[in-house]
Amino acid sequence: MIFRRRPAAALLGTLAALSLLGVPPAHADETTPTEPPKVELVLDISGSMRARDIEGHSRISVLQQSFNDVLDALPAEAQVGIRVLGATYPGNVKAVGCKDTQQLVPIGPIDKLEAKTAVATLRPTGFTPVGLALRAAARDLGTGETTRRIVLITDGEDTCAPPDPCEVARELAAQGTHLVVDTLGLTLNDKVRRQLTCIASATGGTYTAVTSKTQLTNRINQLVDRAATTYTQTPAQVDGTDNCTGAPLLNPGAYTDREQFQEHRWYRVPVRDGQELRASVSVSLDRALNRDYGVLLRAVSQDGRELVRGTDAGSGRTDVLSTGLRWSAEQDAPDQTVCLVVSNSFSSPTATSAATPGMPLELTVGVVDSSPAPNGPDLGRGWGLLGLLALAGLVGGLLFGWLARWRVSIWRAN
C-alpha cells in the first residue's frame, strides 16, 4: 500500500518545489493581422505534363496526388485559390490556346472535396501562357496592405510570349501591390530554370526544382505556411556586403537578398541597452547542389567577437534551410551596433552550373525588450539558485517522509 501511494507523495513534493520556485507567466502575442493571408496556386496543365519522368509517373498524376495531400493539410481558415493554364483548349491555333487560363477555385476558404474533384478531372491539353496566367492571378488576389503570394507550378517555359512572364513579374513588382511569386519547376531543363528563377527573383520569391512527389508536397506546404507567417510585411530588398564596416544598417523588419556559393553577407543592426536582438534567415535552394551543405547565421561585435550563432544543414534535397538566433547585451552595457553575417557551404555538382544569381535568402530582424534579469522570484542564478533548489528538495523530501510514516501508522492500526 505504501508503494502504491508514493507517486502521490512525490507529486506533492514537486508541487511544493514549484510553489517555491514560481512558474513564469505565459506571454501571448497580441498583434492581430488586418486581413487573412491570400495565396493562389497556378497549375500548368499543358500538353507536356503527360511526360512520365517523375519516379515513373506522369507529371500531371504526381501534381494531382501531391495536391490532395496539400489540401488535406490546409487549415480551415486558409484563403486559397486555384488557377490553371493550358487546361481546356486541345487545338493547334496559338491565338486561341494562348488565352487558355481560368480560375478553377476562387480565393477564399476552400471546399477541399470540391477542389480535389476539380483538380482530379484535369487532363494535359494545350499551350503554356505563363505570363497571361500571372497577370490574371494577380487580379484574382486583388490589392491590400498585406502580402499576396502566387505559387506557380509548371514543367515548361512560356510558349505564348508576348507577354514575357519575366517582364510580367517585373511589371507586377513595380506596381507595389505586395505580390510575391514562388515558382516550382517539374523539370531540370536549364531554360525553364532560368525563366522561373527570373520570375521569382523579380518579386522577391523563390525557385525550386522538384523531382519527386514528396518534395513537391512538402514545398507547396512550406510556401502556404510561409504566406500565413510572413504575409503581414513585404520583405524589402537589401544588398549585404563582404564586411561589417560598410554593411547596410537594418531596422526591425523582413528583407530579401541573394548569396553566392560559400559567400558571407554582412548586415548591421543597432541594439540599445535593455534590448534583445532576434534574427532568422531562410535560404531557398533553387538549384542542384553537392550533398552535405549548411547555412550559418552569426551575431558578431564590432571588434570581431562572435556573440551567438545558429546553424542548419541539409544532405541533398532541394528545399529551404532556416536558422535563427537571440542575443541580449550585458546589463548596463552601452548601446552598440551588432553585425549579422549569413554564410553558407554550398557548392555546385558540375562546373557548368550557374553560380549567378545567388541563392535567394529572406532575413527577418527583430529588436525587443530584453527578458527580465534572472534574479527575480521565478528564476535564479549561481549560489542563490542552488540554495533555492536544495530547499525545495528538502521540503519535498520531508513531505514525502511524513506522508509515508502516516500511511504506515494507519496500516498498522488496521
CATH (domain of 104): 3.40.50.410
Compare 316 and 9 and report the one with higher pLDDT.
316
| Pair 271, 195 in one domain | no
| Pair 110, 135 in one domain | yes
Handedness of CA 227, 233, 236, 240 (dihedral sign): negative
Average pLDDT over residues 132-151: 89
| Pair 257, 202 in one domain | no
Q: Report CA-CA distances (Å) from 194 to 51, 183, 208, 216.
A: 21, 11, 11, 19
Task: List, in order, residues 6 or more apart from 232 with CB less than 8 Å away.
Answer: 31, 33, 34, 146, 147
SS3 28: coil
Domain-ending residue, one of 204, 230, 256: 230
Note whether residue 31 is domain-resident: no
49/60 Cα distance (integer angstroms): 5
Of 41, 224, 216, 49, nearest to 118 by C-alpha is 41
Which cell numbers in the block locate residue 385?
Answer: 539558485
Note whether residue 398 is domain-resident: no
| Residue-range definition of the domain harbouring residue 153 | 38-230
Note whether residue 132 is domain-resident: yes
| Pair 116, 148 in one domain | yes
277/309 Cα distance (integer angstroms): 12
Residue 141: band (very low, low, confident or very high) from pLDDT cuts 50, 70, 90: very high
In this predicted structure, the answer to whether residue 225 has a pLDDT above a threshold of 70 is yes
Domain-ending residue, one of 201, 230, 259: 230
In this predicted structure, the answer to whether residue 329 has a pLDDT above a threshold of 70 is yes
In this predicted structure, the answer to whether residue 317 has a pLDDT above a threshold of 70 is no
In this predicted structure, the answer to whether residue 29 has a pLDDT above a threshold of 50 is no
Q: Rounded to 5 degrees, what angle do the CA atoms 255, 260, 262 make?
A: 115
The proportion of the chain whose per-residue pLDDT surpasses 90, expressed as a percent, equals: 38
| Pair 199, 63 in one domain | yes
User: Minimum mean pLDDT among 6-10, 47-51, 253-257: which range?
Assistant: 6-10
Compare 182 and 396 and report the one with higher pLDDT.
182
Note whether residue 116 is domain-resident: yes
Residue 344: band (very low, low, confident or very high) from pLDDT cuts 50, 70, 90: very high
Backbone angles phi, psi at 138, to 5 degrees: -60, -40
Of 133, 42, 123, nearest to 80 by C-alpha is 42
Note whether residue 119 is domain-resident: yes
The type of residue at 117 is T
pTM of the model: 0.57
The type of residue at 113 is L
Domain-ending residue, one of 369, 387, 405: 369
Which cell numbers in the block locate residue 32?
Answer: 492581430
Note whether residue 407 is domain-resident: no
With beta carbons less than 8 A apart as the criterion, state whether 300 and 307 touch: yes
Average pLDDT over residues 279-303: 85
DSSP β-bridge partners for residue 183: 152, 207
| Pair 161, 208 in one domain | yes
Which cell numbers in the block locate residue 29?
Answer: 502575442
| Pair 200, 273 in one domain | no
Average pLDDT over residues 318-333: 76
Strand-pair category, 52-54 with 57-58:
antiparallel
- Max mean pLDDT among 85-99, 144-158, 191-205 falls in 85-99
| Pair 223, 247 in one domain | no
Number of domains in the chain: 2
In this predicted structure, the answer to whether residue 203 has a pLDDT above a threshold of 50 is yes
Average pLDDT over residues 93-121: 93
| Pair 205, 320 in one domain | no
Note whether residue 401 is domain-resident: no
In this predicted structure, the answer to whether residue 323 has a pLDDT above a threshold of 90 is no
| Pair 42, 173 in one domain | yes
C-alpha 125: how far from chain center: 34
Q: Report CA-CA distances (Å) from 49 to 67, 162, 186, 327.
A: 15, 22, 9, 49
66/68 Cα distance (integer angstroms): 5
| Pair 202, 271 in one domain | no
Please return the burial class of 380, using the count of CB atoms within 10 Å of its CB with bins 0-12, 13-18 and 19+. Answer: middle
Strand-pair category, 306-314 with 179-185:
unpaired
With beta carbons less than 8 A apart as the criterion, state whether 150 and 119 touch: no
| Pair 64, 138 in one domain | yes
CATH of the domain at 316: 2.60.120.380
Q: Is residue 173 within a helix (H) or strand (E), and if so which, with residue range?
A: helix 165-174
Average pLDDT over residues 28-44: 70
Structure confidence at residue 373 (pLDDT): 43
Note whether residue 11 is domain-resident: no
Q: Rounded to 5 degrees, what angle do the CA atoms 392, 394, 398 make?
A: 120
Backbone angles phi, psi at 92, to 5 degrees: -110, 5
